[in-house]
Amino acid sequence: MTNTVALLLLRSHYAYMGMMEDAVRRALRTAPVSTRTLAREAGISETLLRLIRSGERTATPQTVKALLEALDRLQARYKRAGQLLRDALKNRSDP
């Protein structure tokens, strides 16, 4: 492999990692729960999430997958809770 090809591969790897970092930071900012709750649900360290958010650490694909799965589980819980409330409103009897 030539140095040029190696350099291009390295650049594309860093570009991919940068996109992943940006996606994680956006997800952390917009998550409907605290960083602590999200870390607990994902089974990863709250400190790690804070370091990723500040740019001091990088997010591995495993970390991104854990966050994605945690957010999916939380979304399902919120959806079920919302449905319970909708059903309660539909079934209430007006005085």
DSSP string, 48-89: HHHHHHHTSS---HHHHHHHHHHHHHHHHHHHHHHHHHHHHH
* Residue % of the chain over a pLDDT of 90: 48
Contact 48, 57 (CB under 8 A): yes
Of 20, 52, 23, residue with least CA distance to 35: 52
pTM, two decimals, is 0.73
Chain-centre distance for alpha carbon 93 = 40
DSSP SS3 for 93: coil
Segment 7-46, tens digit of pLDDT: 566 566 566 667 788 888 989 889 989 999 999 999 999 9
Segment 42-67, tens digit of pLDDT: 999 999 999 998 989 888 889 999 99
Per-residue pLDDT band at 6 (split at 50, 70, 90): low
